Amino acid sequence: MRTTVGIIGAGPAGLLLARLLHDAGIDSVVLEGRDREYVEHRQRAGILEQGTVDVLRAAGAGERLDREGLRHDGIELRFDRKRHRVDFPALTGGRSVTVYAQTEVCKDLIALQLADGGPLLFEAEALEVEGADTDHPRVRFRHAGREDVLDCDYVVGCDGFWGVARNAIPAELTRVFERSYPYAWLGILADVAPSHDELVYARHERGFALLSMRSPSVSRLYLQVEEGADAEKWSDDDIWGELERRFETEDGWRLERGPITQKSVTPMRSYVHEPMRYGRLFLAGDAAHIVPPTGAKGLNLAVGDVVTFARALTYKKETGSEERLDAYSATCLRRVWQAERFSYDMTSLLHRAPDATPFEGRLQLARLERIATSRAAETDLAEAYTGFPFDEQGDERG
């Protein structure tokens, strides 16, 4: 099998890249190790930055997003039983975010790919990337019970942290930066209408809490718990009781309870692999970087990566210049490190470390008060949360 771009992984990044390349007249093949049902139902974050929404619309994947997605023009910060709303459009020149689950993004992009895109092979397990430093890299994969080879001009690894693409980069050429956090998130899905129409981020002496949603009738909520916690050891009543305590406000706001349909624990970590390119192998999304979920950056960073690659390869096709392909890693990493910075700041601002001192607790409150009383500090948060627009080189500029 032969193609211009071999894409490993049919998550949002791989599927969107295939669509962007199709629109640019560049052929590709997508290899996905799981079956279609798994891809369309795996639960992931669902906060889309303004730039991500704009890219999906331009790629033809915006119809259902615009119909069913929930536009949010702000978030609420809660601390010391007080409430402060951050107004995104007022602070960013009209930008917002949209709540639309990653599963739905995948469904939309899969439908487009199968309708008029290049080959999308499910249950095609990538085994190894060979010849990444040559002009003709190859992906060995297993599909339908036999091994095969995909010959490419370029390979893009959108196969996540545990994928095979990153392993093709020699260890002596790589640098890894990482941090693990001494706490985790207990997340629940509940069949109850969200108790607030925007996301609520709560800092509390007992730990962080987040009120989010999947739809107008399904709530998504999170509690900070100890690292390695077992979700099943938390009863439904204990979860609701703890959420009520952490969201408590002076004005008597009330959290509505409902049947909990899903519980899971998410570890917290930051990770960056440099470089994001080796020869004709390019890494995108979780294959190259992971952020704690506090800043809602993971999916949006992956979108930025594949937009950068698609524009760089289109530029090569149109001009013959590999300048933008050569700059891929540096271009993406500028944005990655800003997202890592923001996600770390949000995490340290709102979570209580197990060994936190009273001094550190007061510093958190001081930082939150600064955001609530300084337009400059509030604007910095709003610009980072909604994301910065892509320019033609794939950079993000404020």
Residue 25 lies in domain: 5-73+97-177+269-351
Residue 239 lies in a domain: no
Active site residue 354: no
24 inside domain: yes
Collapsing DSSP to helix, strand or coil, 243 comes out as: helix
The mean pLDDT value of the chain amounts to 95
Active site residue 181: no
**pLDDT tens track for 54-90:** 999 999 999 999 999 999 999 999 999 999 999 999 9
pLDDT at 43 over 80: no
Q: Is 293 a catalytic residue?
A: yes
Crossing angle of helices 298-319 and 328-350, rounded to 10°: 170
Consecutive H or E run containing 342: helix 328-350
pLDDT tens per residue across span 179-212? 999 999 999 999 999 999 999 999 999 999 999 9
pTM, full prediction: 0.94
- Write down the pLDDT at residue 20: 98
> Is-catalytic flag, 72?
yes
Q: Is residue 221 in a domain?
A: no
- Per-residue pLDDT tens digits for 258-295: 999 999 999 999 999 999 999 999 999 999 999 999 98
Q: For residue 42, what pLDDT is reported?
A: 81
Q: Which of 12, 137, 292, 293 is catalytic?
A: 293
Please write the tens of the pLDDT for every residue from 89-119.
999 999 999 999 999 999 999 999 999 999 9
* Count of domains forming the chain: 1
pLDDT at 369 over 90: yes
H or E element at residue 91: helix 88-92
The answer to the question of residue 321 being in a domain is yes
Q: Is residue 153 part of a domain?
A: yes
Omega of the bond prior to 267 within 30 degrees of 0, cis?
no
Cα(106)–Cα(303) distance, rounded to whole angstroms?
A: 13
Residue 258 φ/ψ, nearest 5 degrees: -165, 175
Is-catalytic flag, 182? no
Among 181, 183, 315, 385, the active-site one is: 385
**Phi–psi pair at 293, nearest 5 degrees:** -75, -5
Extract the runs of DSSP E, i.e. beta strands, from 192-327: 199-203, 209-215, 218-226, 260-274, 277-278, 281-283, 289-290
Domain-embedded: residue 195: no
- CATH number for the domain that contains residue 341: 3.50.50.60
Average the pLDDT over 302-306 and give the result: 97
Count how many Cα atoms sit within 13 Å of the Cα of residue 69 in the half-sphere of its side chain: 29
Residue-wise pLDDT tens digits, 309-324: 999 999 999 999 999 9
Q: Is residue 344 part of a domain?
A: yes
**Strand, coil or helix: 204:** coil
Domain-located, residue 145: yes
